Amino acid sequence: MVIGLYFWACVAGAFSALLVSAVCAVVRARTKRGFRAYVAALEQASDFTGNGLMFFDENERLRHANSRVYDFLPDIDRLKNGGVISLHDTLDYFYDHGVDCDQSLLNTLGRSAEKLSSIGFREVINASGGRLCLVEAQKIPGVGTNVILIDVGESKNREELMLRLNRYNHELSQAIEAATSGIVIIRPDAEGQKYGITFANKAFCNIFQSGREEIAGRDMVDVFGCIEDPDALEKIKEIGRMQGGGDVELCLRHPVEGERWYDLQLTPLKDENGKLELFVGILNDTTELKIQAAESSKAQKLEALGQLSAGVAHDFNNVLSIIDGYARIVSRDMENREKALENLERIRTAAQRGTSLIKQMLTFSRHEIVHSGAVDLGEMVREQEGLLRPLLDASIQCVVRVGDGAMWVECSPEKITQILMNLAVNARDAMERGGRLLIECGVCPEEALPEILQRKEGGKGACAFLKVEDTGTGMEKEVLERIFDPFFTTKEQGKGTGLGLSMVYGLVKQAGGVIDVESVLGEGTSITVYLPLTDKPPKCLSGSAEVPGSIRFDGYTALVAEDEPDLLLLVSSALEELGMAVLSACDGREALVLQDEYEGVIDLLLTDVVMPELNGVDLADFVQEFRPETHVIFMSGYPDKGQAARVSIPENAVFAAKPIRHDDLAGLVYSKLKGDSGDGGPDYRAPRWASKQDDDNEKELAQ
């Protein structure tokens, strides 16, 4: 359109000039034919072109100006001097009204005049109404001078607009090309099914390792198809379908740089009717950010580890100094064997403390192997009472209240001990000036359960509770909110690790319970742990050794190793009858493999002493290396010591001589397991050699 206008402006200019030349030629040929006819011809020509025409005679006096001239230059008459306008003044006027033109405009105008010759004067001037006029003057020898005024105002404005637009576009495309982010324009088809890429900048092409021509025109899903994560691709499709914007994280494999991560932001552009016109996608490389985030997370972990180490270092140093100190003494005392042994024992104790510290840390990081089982919370609290008292100052009065009846909860005894000890130690530390420590446990009726437990699915029903209450300093709200955070401590540097309560929190959570904390500043704190009661049969020793046939071992597990198949069957059946779960092995080797594969707790190893390949004593040694908690009872038809003994069993080992009576076996196992539960049940461990006569009237398990 604009080019068309130019064309016509130029053609019009050229035509006018040619017309004037032609008219002048006629005038020259027919000079005497009257000036009027000439002027009439000029008027006609100028009307035809729409241009302004001025004619100056040989004396350079204006002889004629058409109406367009007055249209362009309404004040031209003020140049009159003595009623005459001279060419000289007119040209001055044009110079005064000249404008600075763009080079491109002059070029355009120049091209239009190329076909014209002998142009004596050319200037673009400001005409009335803000229009621009190209003024060209041509001297015709022997006749005069023609001046043509051509309106270029409209074309000039459009040209400027185009120039600006072009410049803007140029700058914009340069910026888009130079951008380090990938930029892509995606246009959906009419059905909104396909999303063709209409533009992709250099960075985008580089990221997808494709040429621009390979990408342009292709479907978005097709181009993004090289994304390895199917979820990301699905999200892109989803954004397309929903026609909303969104962010997608992409992972692309670069042949040189390897795996790179990108964030793709898709923004929909819609028309005024809300119809989707196109998507603009910006693709940013987030690999470095991701690495930084990972580094930062690593740094946080290291910081946490540092804090953990600082807390544990104190205790661990103590352990190490004991080990180191006694080791030195031992090397000095080697001559005094007895004393050296005593000191070695101290070293072992310190090493065990170190082991328990590590176990505590593993518990904190939830990396322990959990052997689940059920315990009676009340019984546990009663057992722990004796251990708690030495921890407390004389200024602290300790009251323990245990509710009636059994309260079975699914939790290991070690965990209950840790929970109780940690809570008690915290309570103690809150009462530096003394006070009262109340430890209470029992069954909590449903209506008294805290809200959080009532909301839990299946949380309804009775729970066991363990409350530890002190009359100490209490806590501020800010402290209360953070007490279960790992490493949070209000204690002095080196006095607390900040792990105690977070460990309690973790243990209670693992056991499916909740914790309720109430604290009043200056009055004290009460922490209550609620643990769901369980129906799972707990380990339960019942009956009495004194009453034959009354003993039960529900929930316990035994490993029986016996190379005599009938005897193995008899003993295993007997233990099963007593409520035990039994793992049976036909020799020592099988028993060793069985215990290696069994994940649960083995409470008892009942093993024959003399077996091929691996005897019972060696088996017991191996088993106890991995399972120190497993009790061992040996059985044999040979005497345990002396010359007749084919394999000597260790001192203090529990020994059952074959044949074993059912009640004797029950009593022996009972005493072993009961003895372990700490209430000092009857010692039934005397190895007894039943005489043949004695056995006659008794039920024999084996020969």
Partner 1 sequence: MKNELSDLKVLLVEDQGEARAMMRNMLVELGVTQIFEAANGREALTFLDSAFDFIDIIICDWNMPSMSGVEVLRQLRTVDPSMPFLMVTGRSDMESVVEAKSSGVTGYIRKPFSSKQLEAKLRIILYKMAA
Binding residues for partner 1, rule: CB under 8 A, are 362, 366-370, 589-590, 592-593, 596, 613-615, 618, 621-622, 625-626
To partner 1, the closest distance from the beta carbon of 651 in angstroms equals: 18
Angstrom distance (rounded) from CA 343 to CA 52: 125
To partner 1, the closest distance from the beta carbon of 335 in angstroms equals: 26
Burial class (CB in 10 A: 0-12, 13-18, 19+), 105: buried
What is the DSSP code (8-state) at residue 84?
B
To partner 1, the closest distance from the beta carbon of 323 in angstroms equals: 14
Three-state secondary structure call for residue 517: strand
Judged by CB, which is closer to partner 1: 418, or 528? 418
Judged by CB, which is closer to partner 1: 540, or 586? 586
To partner 1, the closest distance from the beta carbon of 362 in angstroms equals: 6
Please check whether residue 640 is in contact with residue 649, taking contact to mean a CB–CB distance below 8 angstroms: yes
To partner 1, the closest distance from the beta carbon of 622 in angstroms equals: 4
To partner 1, the closest distance from the beta carbon of 188 in angstroms equals: 47
To partner 1, the closest distance from the beta carbon of 599 in angstroms equals: 8
Q: Got the DSSP string for 625-674?
A: HH-TT-EEEEEESS-SSSTT-SSPPPTT-EEEESS-BHHHHHHHHHHHHH
Angstrom distance (rounded) from CA 38 to CA 29: 12
Orientation angle between helical segments 413-429 and 377-388, nearest 10 degrees: 50
Nearby residues of 91 by Cβ (< 8 Å), 6 or more positions away: 121, 137
Judged by CB, which is closer to partner 1: 297, or 355? 355
To partner 1, the closest distance from the beta carbon of 589 in angstroms equals: 4
Judged by CB, which is closer to partner 1: 231, or 621? 621
What is the DSSP code (8-state) at residue 492?
P
Judged by CB, which is closer to partner 1: 376, or 590? 590
- Write b or e for each residue in 329-351: b if 16 or more Cβ atoms lie within 10 A of its Cβ, otherwise e: bbeebeeeeeebeebeebbeebe
Angstrom distance (rounded) from CA 103 to CA 548: 122
Judged by CB, which is closer to partner 1: 479, or 594? 594
Judged by CB, which is closer to partner 1: 619, or 701? 619
Nearest to 525 by CA among 394, 624, 614, 435: 435
Q: Got the DSSP string for 231-247?
A: HHHHHHHHHHHHT--EE
Judged by CB, which is closer to partner 1: 225, or 600? 600
Angstrom distance (rounded) from CA 539 to CA 534: 12
To partner 1, the closest distance from the beta carbon of 593 in angstroms equals: 5
Judged by CB, which is closer to partner 1: 97, or 353? 353
